[in-house]
A = this chain, B = another copy of it.
């Protein structure tokens, strides 16, 4: 039971969110999802069926790199870390999102 419905709105934003999460240092998939949910108090819900494919996608594009390791709890986990190109991508997407959000806010702004 999520705090509020996020629905499909994540569309096109997930990549930037994950990239940003990884900008704080390497993390494994499960931890990325938990971190995003925690820091947004469940406003952003990341489904595994969305997250893992997104991770593979971004790895193929060279934005992130994977390496198997051990989680904090001693289990095997795949750690992802940002590449240089990923950092550029993050910067670009952040800027795009800021502009888009500003535009939408302008339109949706509390009526007269």
- Confirm or deny: A96 has a beta carbon within 8 angstroms of a beta carbon on chain B: yes
- Confirm or deny: A47 has a beta carbon within 8 angstroms of a beta carbon on chain B: no
Interface size class of A (residues with CB under 8 A): 35 or more
Shortest Cβ distance from residue A84 to the other chain B in the assembled complex, whole angstroms: 16
Q: Which residues of B contact A43 (CB under 8 A)?
A: 99-100, 102-103
Shortest Cβ distance from residue A76 to the other chain B in the assembled complex, whole angstroms: 27
| Interface of A (DSSP majority class) | helix
- Confirm or deny: A7 has a beta carbon within 8 angstroms of a beta carbon on chain B: yes
**A39-B6 Cα distance, complex, nearest whole Å:** 26
**A103-B17 Cα distance, complex, nearest whole Å:** 10
With CB as the reference atom, state the residue of chain B lying closest to A100.
B9
- Confirm or deny: A89 has a beta carbon within 8 angstroms of a beta carbon on chain B: no
With CB as the reference atom, state the residue of chain B lying closest to A41.
B103
B9 touches A13 (CB 8 A): yes
Provide 20 A-B residue pairs closer than 8 Å at the C-beta atoms, listed in order of the A residue.
A8-B11, A9-B13, A9-B100, A11-B11, A11-B12, A13-B104, A16-B108, A17-B108, A20-B108, A21-B107, A36-B107, A39-B106, A39-B107, A40-B103, A43-B102, A43-B103, A44-B103, A44-B107, A98-B108, A101-B101
